[in-house]
Amino acid sequence: MGRIIIRGGNRLKGTIRVGGSKNAALPILGASLLCPGVTVIGDVPRLRDVDVMISLLEYLGARVSRNGHTLHIDGSNVRPLDVSEELMRRMRASNLVLGPLLSRFGRVCISYPGGCDIGSRPMDQHLKAIRKLGADIVEQRGFIRSTSKGLVGRDIQFDVPSVGATENTMMAAVLAKGTTVIRNAAREPEISDLATFLNGMGAMVSGAGSSVIRITGVSEMSPVEHVVIPDRIEAGTHMIAAAVTGGDLSIINVVPEHVEAIIAKLQECGVDVTETENSVRVVAGGELLGGDVKTMPYPGFPTDMQPQFVALCALARGTSIITETIFENRFKHVPELRRMGADIRIEDRTAIVRGVPALSGTHVATSDLRAGAALVLAGLAAENTTVVESPEHIDRGYEDLEHKYRSVGADIHREL
Ligand code: EPZ
């Protein structure tokens, strides 16, 4: 809790290590429900969202122990208990227990995870898929109750390449009879990491990372050890921190391929980005140029980097047009950036940003984790002092963010 205090204007210089991916860890934690025995998951970031997922697994009977960034999860005593609305509402990704519980036990009952600040977040694609696999679904009073006498592999065509629906369907299909084909599947790297984890447990998943994923059902799964891929959105956030402060950051534990769209856009904005096998170096110093972005499913420019990129454009020369195609309400950071002096106009799902010479620090409110991150970036670049309220939203997706930026020269601390 507390608030983050930033005295802006310092150029960030040095090295930052990126943690394991939140959005890979969450589905993989769900997949640990698929079998008895102890799975071991490495480089799991210490985040509020991970804590929520661990609480959910423990509620269902899993035994979880954490040693630093390594989790041991024993799924032996898991039972498909009804998941309360209170538990489900704490995090949308709680819905990632749907596939595993239905797969292993033929029964699951969760409440709708509820929308959040960035959009309505429906689950129609999740339900369409498990219904196609043969599950019965009853939706009443905000709960989704699903049972099956044995799922059967089918061809499933998604209307939208939903990350969560792809993940739930993969986990529902691994123990089904026969082969499941998911078409128009999400292609995010986190999907591929989940497939690697599932195959390590004995599943037969192929095509992950492409829009057609094939899953041949197996009779049982067994525990596995796995290290989570690096968090590409955390990496992109640090890249923009270097850009907006005119800094020179080496960002390590990065898969450059996973951040190609971000690298390309930063280079268009006049920032120098070089790659090694597992790191990127971002050197800024000249004038930032504005750039146009349309958020798209992977491998396009990620929606989870849109708020951070708007913060960059607020300080860049010229006018930038940023269109948010994934979520219908993901500009909560804009009013707060305006209070710092940004010149931004919203037309439906598009932000028209006219760069200004400088932003000025003030009190700003956070509403979701990426909007909060964008405000931290703006504070790092702004004149005077920025006070970021409710940093618990940021803690959902970033581990020790202020410590990481202080270690490379930012004047930033948390006031409890
Ligand atoms: C995942 O959410 C990520 N979360 C989100 O990251 C990310 O923004 C999102 O994918 C898009 O990349 C995790 O992985 C835990 P979707 P998810 O289902 O799976 C529509 C962050 O900041 N849709 O791919 O919930 C939906 O409305 C978070 O780390 C349906 O219409 O996203 C949206 O417009 C925020 N029907 C689009 O698809 C469905 O059944 C993408 O949603 C499901 C989704």
Per-residue pLDDT of the chain (416 residues; tens, 9 = 90+): 799 999 999 999 999 999 999 999 999 999 999 999 999 999 999 999 999 999 999 999 999 999 999 999 999 999 999 998 888 988 889 999 999 999 999 999 999 886 567 888 889 999 999 999 999 999 988 899 999 999 999 999 999 999 999 999 999 999 999 999 999 999 999 999 999 999 999 999 999 999 999 999 999 999 999 999 999 999 999 999 999 999 999 999 999 999 999 999 999 999 999 999 999 999 998 899 999 999 999 999 999 999 999 999 999 999 999 999 999 999 999 999 999 999 999 999 999 999 999 999 999 999 899 999 999 999 999 999 999 999 999 999 999 999 999 999 999 999 98
- Enter the CATH code of domain 22-227: 3.65.10.10
Instruction: For tokens 């969450």, name the residue.
Output: 26
Question: Residue 32 is which amino acid?
Answer: S
Residue 316: CB within 6 Å of ligand 1?
A: no
Please check whether residue 413 is in contact with residue 388, taking contact to mean a CB–CB distance below 8 angstroms: no
Residue 359: CB within 6 Å of ligand 1?
A: no
Torsion of CA 268, 271, 276, 279, to 10 degrees: -110
Give 355-381 as a DSSP string: --S--B--EE---SHHHHHHHHHHHHH
Maximum Cα–Cα distance for the chain, whole Å? 64
Give 62-117 as a DSSP string: -EEEEETTEEEEE-TT---PPPPHHHHHT-GGGGGGHHHHHHHHSEEEEE----BT
Please check whether residue 70 is in contact with residue 45, taking contact to mean a CB–CB distance below 8 angstroms: no
Please check whether residue 44 is in contact with residue 61, taking contact to mean a CB–CB distance below 8 angstroms: no
Give the residue numbers marked as catalytic.
116
Residue 94: CB within 6 Å of ligand 1?
A: no
The kind and range of the H/E element at 199 are: helix 189-200
Give the domain ranges of the chain.
3-18+230-415, 22-227
- Measure the CA–CA gap between 24 and 41, rounded to whole angstroms: 11
Question: Separation of 18 CA from ligand 1 center, angstroms?
Answer: 22
- Enter the CATH code of domain 3-18+230-415: 3.65.10.10
Same fold for the pair 3-18+230-415 and 22-227: yes
